[in-house]
Amino acid sequence: MKVWDPKTGRMLRALERHSGPVFGVAATPDGKQVISASLDETLRVWDLETGQVVRTFGANLQKPRGYFNRSVLCVAVTADGRRAISARIDEAPKLWDLDTGRTVRTLQGHTHDVNCVAVTADGRHAVSASYDGTLKVWDLESGRVLHTLEGHSGVVRSVALTADGSRGVSASDDNTLKVWDLETGRARNTLAAHSNSVWGVAVTADGKKAVSASLDKTLVVWDLETGAIVATFRCEGRACCCACVAPNLIVAGDRGGHVYFLALEE
């Protein structure tokens, strides 16, 4: 993994301890630590100041190891920085205590692997996106499924939530995004403009816009209220991930290894 200065585009630090590709990363709210999810079957907690690994957990040493055997596909951190949710291949998502490294709860419900998990700002709920073509809204206290969000005709690759936790935006292999009302579990809108799978989605801090990253090599900025396209950017490679890291700053990556820092103008 690499840590970047978004103002200069300069790499600040390389974090090198995983023995396989890194599929997901999440930062703690205070910005002091990040948690990475890897093909090497582990989650690692990193100190961003020193670049050192603080804790490693999640490896299942009782089962035979192999390529993609128990890879950790995604990770999300609760707003208090005390818990994380991760999902492996062939396993249900797990809620972890970051202080002890112990599993707090397993979220049973999907019929296939989970690609992405997002947590509401209040830490009460999570939303998971799965290969089974659905999303699920979870009560983290009980582990109960509150809603199953159905509507995509392909694998759901990613999900992002508005800051108030009222809406979610999902990205799918059916080339579309869907905007969901998380209170009712109903789709509010379908965003269609991409010509290939949509692998990444992020929502701006004010909840007014979303950014999508697609294998069609484009990033699209959407108005979540109207569903209109605000802006489009063409990448050099197939876009696979994106994040909104400041009020008007988008960071995105493509499968060719390029990282983009884009200013979103009003």
Between the alpha carbon of residue 247 and those of residues 71, 158, 159, 227, 265, the distances in Å are: 33, 21, 19, 20, 10
Look at 222 and 88; give whichever has higher pLDDT.
222
Q: What is the mean pLDDT of residues 154-179?
A: 97
Residue 226 has pLDDT above 80, yes or no: yes
| The pLDDT value given to residue 58 | 67
Task: Place 21 in a pLDDT band, splitting at 50, 70 and 90.
Answer: confident
Residue 230 has pLDDT above 70, yes or no: yes
| The pLDDT value given to residue 40 | 84
| The pLDDT value given to residue 64 | 46
Task: Place 245 in a pLDDT band, splitting at 50, 70 and 90.
Answer: confident
Task: Place 62 in a pLDDT band, splitting at 50, 70 and 90.
Answer: very low
User: For 188, phi and psi rounded to 5 degrees?
Assistant: -95, -30
Residues pairing with 220 in the sheet: 212, 232
| The pLDDT value given to residue 188 | 96
Residues pairing with 36 in the sheet: 25, 44
User: For 191, phi and psi rounded to 5 degrees?
Assistant: -105, 110
Say how many CA atoms lie within 13 Å of 79 toward its Cβ: 13
pTM of the model: 0.90
Angle at 158 between CA 155 and CA 163, to 5 degrees: 145
Highest mean pLDDT among 12-16, 75-79, 97-101, 230-234: 230-234
| The pLDDT value given to residue 209 | 96
Residue 258 has pLDDT above 70, yes or no: yes
Task: Place 61 in a pLDDT band, splitting at 50, 70 and 90.
Answer: very low
Task: Place 63 in a pLDDT band, splitting at 50, 70 and 90.
Answer: very low
User: For 223, phi and psi rounded to 5 degrees?
Assistant: -85, 115
| The pLDDT value given to residue 153 | 97
Q: In what order do the strands lie in the sheet with 135-139?
A: 114-119, 125-130, 135-139, 144-149
| The pLDDT value given to residue 227 | 96
Highest mean pLDDT among 15-29, 40-54, 177-191: 177-191
Q: Which domains does the chain have, with CATH numbers?
A: 2-198 (2.130.10.10)
If one counts every other C-beta atom within 10 angstroms of the C-beta of residue 5, the result is: 10
